[in-house]
Amino acid sequence: MRPSQPNLLFVMSDDHAAHAISAYTSRTAPGGPSDPERPQINHTPNLDRIAAGGMRFDACFCTNSICTPSRASVLTGTYNHVNGVTTLVTPMDNTLDTFPKQLQAAGYQTALFGKWHLGHGPEHDPTGFDRWRVLPGQGHYHNPVMLQPRPDGRGHTIVERGGYVTDLITDDALAWLDTRDPDRPFAMLVHHKAPHRSWEPSREHFTLFDDIDIPEPSTLWDDHEGRAEVVRSMRMRLMDLDPVIDLKASIPPGLSEDDEVRWRYQRYIKDYLRTIASIDDNVGRLLDRLDDEGIADDTVVVYTSDQGFFLGDHGWFDKRMMYEESVAMPLLVRYPPMIAPGSVCGEIALNVDFAPTFLELAGVDVPDEVQGTSLSPLLRGERPDDWQQSMYYRYWMHDDGIHRVPAHYGVRTRTHKLIGYYNDPLGQTGARRSDDPPEWELFDLVADPHELHNVIGDAVYRDVALELHAELQRLQSEVGDLPHPGAEAEFSRLLSIG
Ligand code: CA
């Protein structure tokens, strides 16, 4: 018997940049050369199966490029100033309404396996799931411990697991599918730890790429000329990677600095991609199961990541920034009854849009509190005239003392991006204060897709800057967030307003 509501298989990895999925990089004809601007750096045949059978979103963005906040936005459909999860140290109130709770109340069987990372302690355990087993905090790649509910329902208990984390999470997901009631729909969330730092591969992939060099990004040697001073002083350069923890090797003696950067890039990117090879294998196991059970047509399959990642782009690793490689999320969705195979969508989609999408596909009313918009018209191939043409972004976690990324907010349209670095922790517990003055950046994404030329001070772009700033104010008002007085004063000064 076919469930009247579709199943949902939601796979979300951690820090998986879209440009490390071959469906996103092989944009020339099959078998042809890869785009030199976006070189193909790996092959992900199983993730590509989702893209080939469904839709690839090319303009999906997170509203705050950091793990815990993005996860909260995905689950609740709200921005971080609303759900309260603005930083890594602001746990989610697990009494908040989420799409799994809504689906559970609508009769779905719900389960969560893998990374949760929305707070420590039993008061922050997952809620809304019939079954869950998660990693504590970041968790470990090899022989991880996991948490699951105590049989009496009071708090959690710790389970020791032998094996590799990506395999184990998938094992748990497949085992749960065996035990479910096939006559009721399910919503299963599979949250991989990989490819999060410190990029530790499985045994099967230890030597993958040993005999090749991975192509370098075109912006590897970006000198950050003309960018905000706070951006130029961030500590996300490849030279900031830890040789022991991140690169797992001593620096070879005698290298020039350029050669050391190249060596570091290869050490870093190969381990990153090795952990993704394991994700790809394991997504294949899940897709095969849907095929074997004959439920692929009844199941919405989603692959995404909580944010993007710099893969040596601009000479950086990590995320946090509103720059493209970090703010972009991969989003692949397959649902044969609704989505044309091999389709591509360039409309703006956001992490806050996921929850209302899943609810609408399940025929469940979207609560008024949800701020996102259902993507279902886009999935059907429609392009509504009033579809969102811009997005609001805010990174709250000012200068964590490690990456030194400043607090900032901004707006991205289809053609431009305006970013205000307000450099203020705004009462964040334990955050470092700085004396850095506010700064602004403006990028013309059509003329400068790699965001190398900050044109905020260019008179040619004055009208564009004013238009974008007005749009930023409109979006802040719409979502209920507040502008920063210091940053706004600096914008007025720069544009000689008032
Ligand atoms: Ca993440």
CA distance linking residue 23 with residue 197, whole number of Å: 23
pLDDT at residue 2 tops 70: no
pLDDT at residue 30 tops 50: no
Q: How far is the CA of 197 from the centre of ligand 1 (A)?
A: 9
Contacts of 138 (CB under 8 A, 6+ apart): 115, 117, 193, 196
By CB atoms closer than 10 A (0-12, 13-18, 19+), residue 269 is buried
The pLDDT confidence band at residue 4, using thresholds 50, 70 and 90, is confident
Q: How far is the CA of 320 from the centre of ligand 1 (A)?
A: 9
Q: How far is the CA of 498 from the centre of ligand 1 (A)?
A: 41
pLDDT for residue 38: 72
In the chain, what percentage of residues exceed pLDDT 90? 91
Q: How far is the CA of 169 from the centre of ligand 1 (A)?
A: 17
Q: What would the mean pLDDT of 145-172 be, rounded to a whole number?
A: 96
Q: How far is the CA of 402 from the centre of ligand 1 (A)?
A: 16
The pLDDT confidence band at residue 170, using thresholds 50, 70 and 90, is very high
Buried b (16+ CB within 10 A) or exposed e, 360-374: bbbebebeeebbbbb
For residues 487 and 493, the answer to whether their CB atoms sit within 8 Å is no
For residue 305, the surrounding DSSP H or E stretch is strand 299-305
pLDDT for residue 122: 87
pLDDT for residue 34: 56
Q: How far is the CA of 115 from the centre of ligand 1 (A)?
A: 10
pLDDT, tens digit, for every residue of 107-121? 999 999 999 999 988
pLDDT at residue 225 tops 70: yes
The pLDDT confidence band at residue 1, using thresholds 50, 70 and 90, is very low
Q: How far is the CA of 292 from the centre of ligand 1 (A)?
A: 32
pLDDT for residue 153: 84
pLDDT at residue 29 tops 50: no
DSSP secondary structure letter of residue 192: -
pLDDT at residue 42 tops 80: yes
Q: How far is the CA of 415 from the centre of ligand 1 (A)?
A: 26
Tell me the pLDDT of the chain averaged across its residues: 95
CA distance linking residue 295 with residue 412, whole number of Å: 38
pLDDT, tens digit, for every residue of 60-71? 999 999 999 999
pLDDT, tens digit, for every residue of 252-304? 999 999 999 999 999 999 999 999 999 999 999 999 999 999 999 999 999 99
> Angle between the 45-53 and 257-293 helix axes, to the nearest 10 degrees?
60
The pLDDT confidence band at residue 332, using thresholds 50, 70 and 90, is very high
The pLDDT confidence band at residue 434, using thresholds 50, 70 and 90, is confident
Buried b (16+ CB within 10 A) or exposed e, 407-446: bbbbbbbeebbbbbbbbbbeebeebeeeebebbbbbbbee
Q: How far is the CA of 283 from the centre of ligand 1 (A)?
A: 18
Q: How far is the CA of 11 from the centre of ligand 1 (A)?
A: 13
Q: How far is the CA of 126 from the centre of ligand 1 (A)?
A: 18
Q: How far is the CA of 361 from the centre of ligand 1 (A)?
A: 26
pLDDT at residue 452 tops 60: yes
Buried b (16+ CB within 10 A) or exposed e, 108-126: bbbbbbbbbbbbeeeeebb
Q: What would the mean pLDDT of 374-380 be, rounded to a whole number?
A: 98
The pLDDT confidence band at residue 432, using thresholds 50, 70 and 90, is confident
Q: How far is the CA of 181 from the centre of ligand 1 (A)?
A: 32
CA distance linking residue 66 with residue 395, whole number of Å: 8
Q: How far is the CA of 55 from the centre of ligand 1 (A)?
A: 23
Q: How far is the CA of 68 from the centre of ligand 1 (A)?
A: 7
